[in-house]
A and B are shown apart, each in its own frame.
Chain A
Amino acid sequence: MNDKLSKEEIEALAASAGAVSLNSIAYNLHIRSQLARRSFYALNLCALAFLFVSGTGIMDGWLDQVNAPPEQGVTDLKIRTLLVFLLFLCVNLAMTFDRFYIESLVSAISIYLYAIATRFSQFYEYLTLEDVWPFAVFVLIRLIPMTLLIVLIREEQRRTAPDRDSLS
C-alpha cells in the first residue's frame, strides 16, 4: 500500500492543522506507518545512547573487560563515534526533507554491518570462556539497531513501492 498523500489530502491537512511544514519530521513521520515511527524513535534513542556512552569511559572499561587489546588493530572508538554521528545526522536530515531517506538507511546498515564484522573478527582470537557474558551482551546490543534499520528499510520499500491496485 502506498501511504503517500495526494495533493488534495495535503491541502486538507494543511488547512485543518494550520501551517504544516512538509519538511518537518512530524509531518514525515505522520505519513509513515506506526511501526516505522516507533522504529525511527528507537533508532534515534540507540544512536544518542551510543554517542552519550562513548563520551564517558564506560565503553573503554568494557573493552578492557573482554580482553580486546587496542594495540592489536582494534579500531579506535573515536572513529566509530564519528561514523555513528554522521549516520545519525544523515538519517534525520533525510527524514526531515524526505529526500534520500532510504539511501541513508541503506548506507547506515552497510557501514553498520562492516563495523560488526570487523569488531567480531577483531575480538574472535582474543576471546576466552570468561568473556562469554560480556560478549553475549555486546552481541545483543549490536543486534537491536540492526533490526531497527532492517524494519525501517522494509517499511520504506513497502511505502514507496508502486501501488498495483491503482492500475486496475
Chain B
Amino acid sequence: MTRSERIVFALLAAYACGLLGLHVLYYAGLFTSTERDPSVWIHLTRTFFVTSFFLMISIQVARGRPFSLLVVAAASYSGATFIEDFLVIESSFFLPEHPLAGSLYALRPLFMLMLVYWAVLRRSIESA
C-alpha cells in the first residue's frame, strides 16, 4: 500500500471501530431493556455487513492479496445504506443521543468520500 492509502485505511478503520463500538453499546442496552425493539434485525444486518467488510479487507491487507473489489463493494454498500437512511428510515443510527453517534453522523459524508477515493485508487493500482 502507498503512504496515502495507509493514512486513508487508518482513518476508515478508526471510523469503523467507532461505529462498531456504538453497535456494542446498543446491544448492551438491548439486553438490559424490557421493551422489544422492532428494528433490531436491521441493526443486526448492518453490524454483520460492517464487521464482514472490515475483517475481510484487513485480512487481505495482512496477506498482501488483491482487495480492490472488496473496497468497491464496501463503498457501494455504504452508499446504499446512506440512501436508505436518508430517504426511508430518516435516522437509523444506533443510540442517536450518544455523543459518539453525533460525531459519527457528522463525519459520514467524509467517510464515504474516503472510501470511494480508496476504491478508485486501489482499483487503478491493481488493474495497472
Contact = CB atoms under 8 A, between A and B. Distances in A.
Interface centre among B73, B74, B81 (most CB of A within 10 A): B73
Contact of B69 (A106, A108, A111): A106
Given A75-B88, A109-B73, A114 B41 contact: no
Interface string B70-106: 0011111100110110011100000000000000000
B42 A106 contact: no
Contacts of B44: 121
A106 B72 contact: yes
Contacts of B38: 72-73
B39 interface: yes
B48 interface: yes
B33 interface: no
B41 A107 contact: no
B23 interface: no
Chain A: interface residue count, which band? 20 to 34
A115 B77 CA distance: 10
B73 A107 contact: yes
A125 interface: yes
Nearest to B87: A79
A118 interface: yes
Contacts of A82: 83, 87
B67 to A, nearest CB: 12
Contacts of B39: 73
Contact of B45 (A78, A110, A118): A118
14 contacts: A75-B88, A82-B83, A83-B80, A83-B83, A103-B119, A103-B123, A107-B76, A108-B76, A110-B72, A110-B80, A114-B49, A114-B77, A121-B42, A121-B45
Interface of A: 72-73, 75-76, 78-79, 82-83, 102-103, 106-111, 114-115, 117-118, 121-122, 124-125
**Which are the 7 A-B pairs with shortest beta-carbon distances?**
A107-B76, A121-B41, A110-B73, A111-B80, A110-B76, A73-B39, A117-B45
